[in-house]
Amino acid sequence: MEKQKFTYKQTKLSKYENKYRIKCFENSTNNVGSITFEIKGKIMWLHHLLVKAPYRRQHIGKELLKLMENFARENQIYTVKGKFYPESDADGVRTFYETQGYVVPNKTQNWETYDDTWVMYKNLGYAHSTTQTHTEKEK
Ligand SMILES: CC(C)(COP(=O)(O)OP(=O)(O)OC[C@H]1O[C@@H](n2cnc3c(N)ncnc32)[C@H](O)[C@@H]1OP(=O)(O)O)[C@@H](O)C(=O)NCCC(=O)NCCS
């Protein structure tokens, strides 16, 4: 059986109450990328996502995002937000997030116009439970 090349490991960052990191390892030991995120109320805040340059375009970034989103859903969190930086427009990062379903602010690439409104987001969708709704109506 072919050995899986990339493995993913999630840890909680001990200094913080709700901050986590998922690392991607090549052949179990070589860290080739990571995502750092934090639960803040009903929002999942994406702080940092990086895949080392030689390992890009192998769907590691996509997988790291997906694992974070699954963890959000497991915690009944259905909105992801993150700051989007002007320099990211230049190297395909905007396209990456847009292909993964994120709404990215459409602004001129310019640090002089940078402010708190440069926030990208994704709605993860709610999991509906008809049984629960029915029970609530009967009360
Ligand atoms: C953005 C980043 C995390 C993407 O990681 P990645 O593992 O290379 O991305 P994936 O392989 O999962 O890409 C998934 C899809 O996104 C799109 N995409 C990714 N990188 C792209 C690029 N440079 N240009 C255009 N589209 C891109 C493609 O549609 C891709 O699918 P495909 O390769 O089958 O066509 C990585 O490029 C990176 O670390 N960049 C520098 C750090 C950074 O700016 N991080 C974000 C701010 S915190």
**For residue 103, what are the contacts with CB-CB under 8 A and spacing of at least 6?**
120, 121, 122
Model confidence, pTM: 0.89
> Which atom of ligand 1 is nearest to 46's Cα?
48
Give distance in angstroms: CA of 96 to centre of ligand 1: 5
Q: Rounded to whole angstroms, how far apart are CA atoms 38 and 35?
A: 10
pLDDT at 22: 98
Give the containing element (helix H, strand E) for 122: strand 119-123
Q: Rounded to whole angstroms, how far apart are CA atoms 32 and 50?
A: 9
Ligand 1 contacts (CB < 6 A) are 48-51, 56-62, 88, 91-93, 95-96, 99
Q: What is the tens place of the pLDDT at every residue in 97-135? A: 999 999 999 888 889 889 989 999 999 986 554 454 444
Tally of structural domains, the chain: 1
Query: The domain spanning residue 39 has which CATH number?
Result: 3.40.630.30
Q: Is residue 1 part of a domain?
A: no
pLDDT beneath 50: ranges in the chain: 129-130, 132-139
Q: Is residue 126 part of a domain?
A: yes
Range of the domain at 86: 6-138
> Could you report how far apart the first and last alpha carbons of the chain are, in Å?
54
